[in-house]
Structures are given as C-alpha cells and as structure tokens.
Amino acid sequence: MTSSSSSAHIQLTTDRLVLRPWCSSEAAAVLDNTRSVDWADDFPAEGDRVVAGLFDQFPDWLGEHGHRLIIERGSGLVVGSIGLFWPPSEGTLEIGYGIVASRRGRGYAPEATRALAEFALTAPGVHTVFANVELSNPASVRVLEKAGFHRWATEDNEDNVAHFRITKTDHHER
C-alpha cells in the first residue's frame, strides 16, 4: 500500500484499488441521483447514499481519516465506499465498507479494508479498528477475516452480531 497527499487528503493505493476521500460534490451527486461517468453502473448502493446523507451532520467524515470512495485502478470506476467513523473513541475507530454487486467476489473489500485499517492505526491515539457484523452476513465476516481482523466476541450473542478488531499489535506483527 502506498499513500500520497493531495489537497491535504491522503489517497491510499493498493495493488488494484485507490481509496480516495469523498468530496462534497460527489456526495451531492449521490443524494441527487446524478450519475457520473466515473461510477460503476450499480454505484451508488444504498449504504453509499446513507453515508453521503450524513456528511453534513458529521463533517469529519470528509477529512483525512473519514470516508473514501473505492476506485478500481484498472477501469478508473468507483466501485464502492469505505470509511472510518471519525473521531476515535478511547483509541478505537469503527470501519464500514461496501462494494457494488457487480464487483463482489474479486477480493476488493478485504483489500480496501486492510489498507484503510492499516492507515487508521497510524493516526495519533488510535490503537484499535473494529467492525460489528451480523452473523447472517457470512460474506462480510469473511471480508474481515481476510483483512486480518480477529473475532473477539460472539458467544451467547443475543443480537447475532460478530465483533471483529485489529490492533496496533496485530498490525506490527504483519
């Protein structure tokens, strides 16, 4: 993974993806249902619309450690989004992600999740990145496992949610 600074925002690059912060005009286009030629045919998904609608309420999500568009390097198309729910709480950050249906099964979600989690763990005061996944969503469980997250709580789970996390210690062991 490499990173580069552009307009005070960090762009993350993996083997096959670019993770670039959203800009306000892209969020507006998602909310207005205005199509962009730079989007996969099935972008945005419902989760992308929800996140775009929350940027006014949570402006830090548009910052360096916030939400990003997932761009397929080969085509240049936006194929999903991923984000950190900034700011951290007691050194922990939640991560969320989504890949459009037409690009699922290619390993993009774990690749993006691993890259953003590694980046998050370099932020001052952050020691843990976590995600909570419904057990009825085994694909998302696999994403987190492939990204290097560890399950840390599931027994006697009344809400049927698996809790995953990756820590600075995990990151340094890689």
Give start and end residues of each alpha helix (H) in 130-167. Answer: 138-146
Model pTM score: 0.90
| pLDDT one digit per residue (tens) for the chain, 174 residues | 554 444 346 899 999 999 999 999 999 999 999 999 999 999 999 999 999 999 999 999 998 899 999 999 999 999 999 999 999 999 999 999 999 999 999 999 999 999 999 999 999 999 999 999 998 999 999 999 999 999 986 555 567 899 999 999 875 555
- Exposure class string for 34-64: b at 16+ Cβ within 10 A, else e: eeeeebbeebbbeebeebbeebeebeebbbe
Domains of the chain from N-terminus onward: 2-173 (3.40.630.30)
The torsion defined by the Cα of 27, 39, 140 and 132, in degrees rounded to 10, comes to -10
